[in-house]
Structures are given as C-alpha cells and as structure tokens.
C-alpha cells in the first residue's frame, strides 16, 4: 500500500512539474518570438488534398470453372468484379481551373476518382492526363472555394541543406506534416521509375504521402512527393520528390497535347569503360560514347560523330549513358540545346534542336506483311532496366499481322537478325522491304523467330 501511495505521489509530482514547465514556456526569447512553422502551414495545408481512387477489376471465380460446381450451385461462367481502393495525396496547383497535381501511381488504372479537401468536402475528380515515365498525373475538380499552393519565382535556387516540409496523407491517417532538409538534388537511378531528377529529403515520406506537397519555409511548392527508399516499406529518412519545374512542364504538355512529347538526339551510346578511356585518351573524364548517329537526326545536324564522347548537355554533366538518356528525356522539344563533346582530345561545343520522338507506327506504313499491327516505344521504366526494342500495342483480329502470329504485348527486338532499339530503327530496317521478313519476338520469358508471310 505504501509503495502504491509513493507511486501515485511521484506521478502527481511529475504531472505538476510538467504543467508548470509548459505554463512557464516563454512566448519570446530576447524579445524575439519563438520560430514556428504554423503560420506558413496555415496557408499551405488547404491546398493539399487526399486523393481516393477506385479500381474495378474483373476476376474469374475458380469454382465456376468446375462443371460440377457450376451445375450444382448454379454458378455462371461470368467474370466477377473486385473493387480496389487506394489513398494518396495531391496538390491544388491552379485554384481557378481546379487543377490538382498528383502521382501517376496514385491514380493509375482508376475507374473512379474523388478528392477530399482539408475542410472535409469530398469532390468527384476528372482525369486530365498522366505521364508514367515521370510519375506525374493531373486531375481536375470543381473550382469553388479552392486554395492553390504558392509557386517559387525561381525553383533553381533550391540548395542541399535548405529546410523543407512534407504535407500529405500517410497511411490514410489524415493530413500530416513532417519536416527535414534537402539531402541531395538531381537523384536518379531508382529502379522501376522512368526519367528521374529527384529531390532527396529526410522529411518523413510514407505510403499515402505520394502526390503530396514538399514546400520551403516560405510555403512555396518545390516538389511533389513521389517515392521512398526503404528495405521495410516504412520511412528510413530517404524520400524523393519530383521537382516543381518538371511537374509544371509535364502539366503544361498534358493540358496542351494530352500527352508528354519528348525529344530525341537520334543517337545510340555506351558508357566509357577504363579500356575506352585509355583508347580515347580521356584520362579520368567520363561520359557517354556515341556509337551510332541516325541520319538527319538532331545529333547529325549538330555534327556529332561515332566515337565522340558527350560530357555535358544543357549545362549539366553527363557521367554515363543512363544520365544522358535521362537528361535527354527531360529537355523540352523544339528548343535549342547545347552539347559539349570530346573528339580526339579536343572539346567541342555544339548546338541543336531536339525533335519529337515517334510515338507509334502502324504496320501498314512499314510493310504489307505487318498490316494490322500498331508498334509503340517501350516504356521508359523497361528501358531503365536494360530493355531494348519496340512493343506491339495492338493487333487487329483477322489482320495479316494476326495471321502471322503476332500478339499485343509482344516485343520486337530484331528484324532479320539486325537489332531494333526503337521505332526509328525499326522504320530504318524496313525502309526497303526485304524479300524475306523474320522478326525476333520476345513473348514473356521466351524469344522466338517469326516468319512474316
């Protein structure tokens, strides 16, 4: 009994001391108010929303495949529907137009979208467009009573060490704020993602934060929270956000064209190996070695030649071929771009204008034996994993391409045993239709030779 009374007394004393301590906290030190993020967040949090996506999937009942169960229980051989729901975050970027930026992976495949505002309203959302290769998506909601997050005058002034705040909806808990610093800029090389130029931060980003806002201490949007690096699935202090200038450019193109139009130099490259560095006299310098230049391409017009080593593009260093490809895909189409290349020990500065990449090719435009097939570029996420070739997006039933055994989802990697890396090279291989046409087709985990007749 005595021990219990002592315990209660100690607890009461701790509570009293705690209340006195809090009551005694000063509102200012040396005449200056104690710093707080609250005033800034009062203007930012109304612009950060919860994005709710619903996806209806058609699934088959395995019991319905069994004739006994189908007859005995009256199970029809009709696919059933399964509804999947997911939560993420979004940022109101234009209050007058009701435009909300979020991540593509938050709304991908959704059949129904809604947005919940910080004031509790839930609004139906309309899909505007998405770019899987940068993981940016744009949706629209009714514009009444919205608040947009302020944008910085010049986002390029963001530096490593700057304080930032992440606002989102982690784990569906509701709006949550975390703070940290910018840990690194220009991060790339994350698996499963396309073009990358991430802001790295140690502000806690967890599942559900995707699509939320990363803001500076002035409350200006500097990034869209997108991904985390974690062996466990939870936050370990390594989060990534899409820079606001990249998200704005994607939004601009989605509104203008309904898609993102990327440019291409029209070259193939490889990394500088130690052996190549010695052969080309590069010393410790690294870059991307040009191995092929397409005729009449921007690179051809600029004067690039096989053997040149690109070390800089648009003022940014190029340490390897992956970095070059990444930067190339992030640059706007139809705008001049400067290249710095090494040729026989000399440094050259060249200029060209990126041309839009081919988006798709119809089989009828390539060869009569491919009529009914529609070819598209491989997703950038597949290319980041080393994939090469072109994808078959669709094959018309009963067409000549279908009769030749081609299927939607096939990947064409070679024509008559000559490699195909993209749509441009496929068109080049078939510029003069060969008497015999054999495609190397990758289907699942198998590669087969298919004769087109």
User: pLDDT band for position 80 (50/70/90)?
Assistant: low
Which alpha helices (H) appear in 50-206, and where do they start and end? Answer: 67-72, 104-107
Q: E strand or H helix at 53, and its extent?
A: strand 48-59
In the predicted model, is pLDDT for residue 348 greater than 80? Answer: yes
Q: In this structure, what is the dihedral angle of CA atoms 377, 379, 380, 383, given to the nearest 10 degrees? A: -80
Q: In this structure, what is the dihedral angle of CA atoms 328, 331, 335, 338, given to the nearest 10 degrees? A: -60
In the predicted model, is pLDDT for residue 92 greater than 60? Answer: yes
Residues of the chain above pLDDT 70, percent: 83
User: pLDDT band for position 323 (50/70/90)?
Assistant: confident
How far apart CA 141 and CA 276 sit, in angstroms, is: 54
Of 182 and 330, the one with more pLDDT:
182
Mean pLDDT is lowest, of 17-26, 241-250, 367-376, for 17-26
Which is nearest to 208 in space by CA: 41, 86, 84? 86
135 assigned to active site: yes
In order of 230, 322, 350, the CA distances from 300 in angstroms are 43, 20, 11
Of 78 and 89, the one with more pLDDT:
89
In the predicted model, is pLDDT for residue 366 greater than 60? Answer: yes
Residue 182: other Cβ atoms inside 10 A: 22
In the predicted model, is pLDDT for residue 72 greater than 70? Answer: no
How far apart CA 167 and CA 89 sit, in angstroms, is: 9
Determine which one of 86, 89, 210, 226 is catalytic: 210
118 assigned to active site: no
Q: Average the pLDDT over 212-227 and give the result.
A: 93
Residue 34: other Cβ atoms inside 10 A: 9
Q: What is the pLDDT of residue 413?
A: 92
Which is nearest to 116 in space by CA: 89, 149, 96, 85? 89
In the predicted model, is pLDDT for residue 58 greater than 90? Answer: no
Q: What is the pLDDT of residue 82?
A: 66
User: Tens digits of per-residue pLDDT, 99-131?
Assistant: 999 999 999 888 889 999 988 899 999 999 999
Q: What is the pLDDT of residue 130?
A: 92
410 assigned to active site: no
User: pLDDT band for position 220 (50/70/90)?
Assistant: very high
In the predicted model, is pLDDT for residue 257 greater than 90? Answer: no
Determine which one of 133, 135, 202, 410 is catalytic: 135
Q: Average the pLDDT over 15-35 and give the result.
A: 56
Q: Specify the residue for token string 């289907």.
A: 443
In order of 191, 195, 210, the CA distances from 381 in angstroms are 8, 8, 18
Strands (E) in 144-228, as ranges, are 163-168, 176-187, 198-201, 213-216, 221-228
Of 375 and 194, the one with more pLDDT:
375
User: Tens digits of per-residue pLDDT, 428-437?
Assistant: 889 888 999 9
In the predicted model, is pLDDT for residue 345 greater than 90? Answer: no
Mean pLDDT is lowest, of 104-113, 275-284, 363-372, 395-404, for 275-284
Tally the residues of the chain: 453
Determine which one of 53, 86, 89, 105 is catalytic: 105
Q: What is the pLDDT of residue 23?
A: 45
Q: What is the pLDDT of residue 173?
A: 75
Q: What is the pLDDT of residue 28?
A: 63
Question: CA angle at residue 189 from 188 to 194, to 5 degrees?
Answer: 80
How far apart CA 250 and CA 101 sit, in angstroms, is: 10
Q: Average the pLDDT over 332-343 and give the result.
A: 87
User: Tens digits of per-residue pLDDT, 132-183?
Assistant: 888 999 999 998 889 999 999 887 789 999 999 999 888 777 788 999 999 9
Average pLDDT, the chain: 82
Of 29 and 124, the one with more pLDDT:
124
């Amino acid at each position: 009994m005595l021990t219990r009374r002592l315990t209660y007394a100690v607890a009461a004393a701790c509570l009293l001391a705690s209340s006195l301590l809090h009551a005694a906290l000063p509102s200012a030190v040396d005449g200056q108010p104690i710093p707080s993020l609250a005033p800034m967040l009062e203007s930012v949090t109304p612009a950060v929303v919860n994005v709710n996506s619903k996806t209806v999937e058609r699934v088959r009942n395995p019991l319905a495949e069994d004739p006994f169960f189908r007859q005995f229980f009256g199970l029809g051989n009709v696919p059933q529907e399964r509804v999947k729901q997911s939560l993420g975050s979004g940022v109101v970027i234009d209050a007058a137009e009701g435009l909300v930026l979020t991540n593509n992976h938050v709304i991908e495949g959704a059949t129904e979208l809604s947005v919940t505002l910080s004031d509790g309203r839930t609004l139906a959302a309309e899909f505007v467009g998405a770019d899987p290769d940068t993981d940016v998506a744009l949706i629209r909601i009714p514009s009444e009573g919205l608040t947009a997050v302020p944008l910085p005058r010049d986002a390029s002034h963001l530096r490593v060490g700057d304080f930032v705040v992440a606002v989102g909806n982690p784990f569906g808990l509701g709006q949550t704020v975390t703070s940290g610093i910018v840990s690194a800029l220009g991060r790339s090389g994350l698996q499963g993602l396309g073009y990358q130029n991430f802001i790295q931060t140690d502000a806690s980003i967890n599942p559900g934060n995707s699509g939320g806002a990363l803001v500076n201490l002035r409350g200006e949007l500097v990034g869209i929270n997108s991904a985390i690096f974690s062996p466990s699935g939870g936050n370990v202090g390594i989060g990534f956000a899409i820079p606001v200038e990249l998200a704005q450019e994607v939004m601009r193109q989605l509104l203008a064209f309904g898609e993102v139009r990327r440019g291409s130099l029209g070259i193939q490259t490889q990394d500088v190996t130690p052996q190549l560095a010695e052969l080309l006299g590069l010393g410790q310098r690294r870059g991307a070695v040009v191995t092929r230049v397409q005729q009449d391409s921007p690179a051809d017009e600029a004067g690039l030649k096989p053997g040149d080593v690109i070390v800089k593009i648009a003022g940014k260093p190029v340490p390897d071929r992956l970095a070059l490809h990444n930067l190339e895909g992030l640059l706007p189409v139809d705008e001049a771009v400067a290249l710095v290349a090494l040729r026989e020990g000399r440094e050259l500065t060249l200029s060209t204008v990126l041309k839009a990449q081919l988006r798709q090719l119809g089989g009828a435009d390539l060869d009569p034996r491919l009529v009914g097939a529609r070819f598209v570029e491989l997703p950038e996420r597949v290319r980041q994993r080393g994939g090469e070739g072109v994808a078959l997006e669709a094959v018309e039933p009963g067409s000549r391409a279908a009769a030749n055994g081609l299927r939607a989802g096939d990947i064409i990697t070679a024509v008559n045993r000559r490699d195909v890396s993209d749509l441009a090279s496929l068109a080049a291989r078939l510029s003069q239709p060969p008497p015999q046409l054999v495609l190397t087709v990758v289907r699942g985990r198998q590669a087969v030779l298919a004769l087109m007749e």
